[in-house]
Copies of this chain bind each other. A is one copy, B any other.
Amino acid sequence: MRTLRLLLLLLTLLLATAAQAADPLPSWADRPVKHAILDWLVAVTDTAGADFIPVPERIAVLDNDGTLWCERPEYSPTQFQVDLCRSLAARGAIDGEAMPFRAWFADDRKDLRSYGYDKAYEAMNEAFAGMPVSDFRDSVRAWIARTPHERYGVPHTDLYYPAMLELMRLLEAHDFQVWIVTGGIQEFLRSYSEELLGIPPERVIGTTDQPKYTVTADGTVVIVRGRDVITNGGPSKPANIEMRIGRRPVFAAGNSDNDEPMCRYAVTGKRRALALWIHHDDGRREYDYGKPGDLGDLCRDNDRAHEVSMKHDWNRIFAEGIGE
* Interface residues, chain A, with chain B CB atoms under 8 Å away: 56, 133, 177, 186, 190, 194, 200-202, 204, 208, 210-213, 215, 219-221, 223, 226, 230, 235-236, 238-239, 242-247, 261, 264-265, 268-269, 301-302
Contact = CB atoms under 8 A, between A and B. Distances in A.
A223 B238 contact: yes
A243 B177 CA distance: 19
Contact of A246 (B177, B190, B261): B190
- How many identical chains are in the complex? 2
B239 A213 contact: yes
A132 to B, nearest CB: 10
Contact of A242 (B133, B242, B301): B133
Contact of A265 (B133, B223, B243): B223
A212 to B, nearest CB: 6
A220 to B, nearest CB: 4
Nearest to A246: B201
A243 B205 CA distance: 9
Given A221-B268, A261-B221, A202 B247 contact: yes
A243 B208 contact: yes
A243 B202 contact: no
Contacts of A230: 243
Nearest to A204: B246
Nearest to A237: B213
Given A244-B244, A301-B219, A212 B194 contact: no
A268 B222 CA distance: 9
B246 A202 contact: yes
Given A56-B194, A202-B245, A202-B246, A238 B213 contact: yes
Contacts of A236: 213
B261 A238 contact: no
